[in-house]
Amino acid sequence: MSCRVESTARLHFGFGNLSLAHDRLYGSLGVTLDEPRVVVEADPADDHAGVDCEHEDAREYAERAVDLLDVDGARVRVREELPRHVGLGSGTQLALTTFTAVAGAHGLDPDVRAYAPRLGRGGRSGIGVAGFESGGFVVDAGHPTERFTTERPPTGEWSVPPVAAHHDVPEAWRFLVVVPDAEPGRHDADEEASMRSVVESADSSVADRIAGTVFRRVLPAVATGDHTAFGAGVEEVGRLNGRWYADAQGGVYRPPAGELVEHLSTRPAVAGAGQSSWGPAVYGVTDADHADEAREAAHEALAAAGVDGDVFVAGPRNHGATVDHE
């Protein structure tokens, strides 16, 4: 049986809490985009031949899938992939898409949420897993602080944070994405060290302000379809997160994201702007009627910052990954 799985990028607007003074740690919010995509195809391996995959990262995830599911090998092909380590969730989507394709090739439909920790995913943010499951706008509940403290448990010994709030995003909303030519965002050991440092010194009062912004501005805005209020709310969440990260990344936003955000925030077509995850990707909230103006503003922002980069406008994706069998 051949299995083809498709999932898409997500924007990470920030965490709800990074202070050890509160009961739950992390708790992120984000939205699933309708592009760019990751597409993985898998077939059972010929003659139990292990994993045949030319993509190094996908091969690793496929080997884990074969072991976890106790199946014979697979031939795996990555047909499309997300830009790596720019703030669009490439690692989680590749891991879950590859896992699901290998499972489907063997006629299985496992609980991806249950297996994600053993793939090394969902150790802080839960929005990548939730987006893979159902798309849309997600707020996750975070992890119990006593379980995580300054370091997350060993791989596989956590649960993916439960979904605290989920909404379909109005189809007319658009998300401007700017990926400047810059160093990749923090990941792997570098990300772990940075997060540990941030959590050890995080100001708990910032989390209180974020909670107010999420519950009084962001959630009502997505529930009522007000993209302008939503943009202003997630921009505020991002700026508050940046206070935690300022020492680790060289400012409220990492260079050159800060200059891009400041430029976009002044443009009428952009309701709110910020940095997705560790960047360097920058987002702006807009709608279908103003998408072209927002795209133009992004090119102007890149020129003003003196950097090259990619610009695209994506719509929301209000459903999870698609799985097709042949």
DSSP states of 142-166: -EEHHHHTTSPPSTTSS-PPPEEEE
pLDDT at 194 over 90: no
pLDDT computed for residue 11 by the predictor:
98
**Structure pTM?**
0.94
Looking at the chain, list the stretches that DSSP marks H as alpha helix, in order from N- to C-terminal side: 56-69, 90-105, 112-115, 127-134, 145-148, 188-201, 204-213, 219-224, 227-249, 257-265, 291-305
Position 189 scores a pLDDT of: 59
Report the percentage of the chain scoring pLDDT > 90.
85
What is the predicted pLDDT for the residue at 191?
Answer: 63
Domain ranges for the chain, please list them: 3-325
Least confident of 82-86, 111-115, 150-154: 150-154
Query: pLDDT (tens digit, 9 = 90+) per residue, 56-97?
Result: 999 999 999 999 999 999 999 999 999 999 999 999 999 999
pLDDT category of residue 260 using cuts at 50, 70 and 90: very high
CA distance 317 to 176: 14
**Given this structure, which CATH class describes domain 3-325?**
alpha beta
Which tens digit of pLDDT belongs to each residue from 35-58?
999 999 999 997 767 899 999 999
Rg, C-alpha atoms of the chain: 19
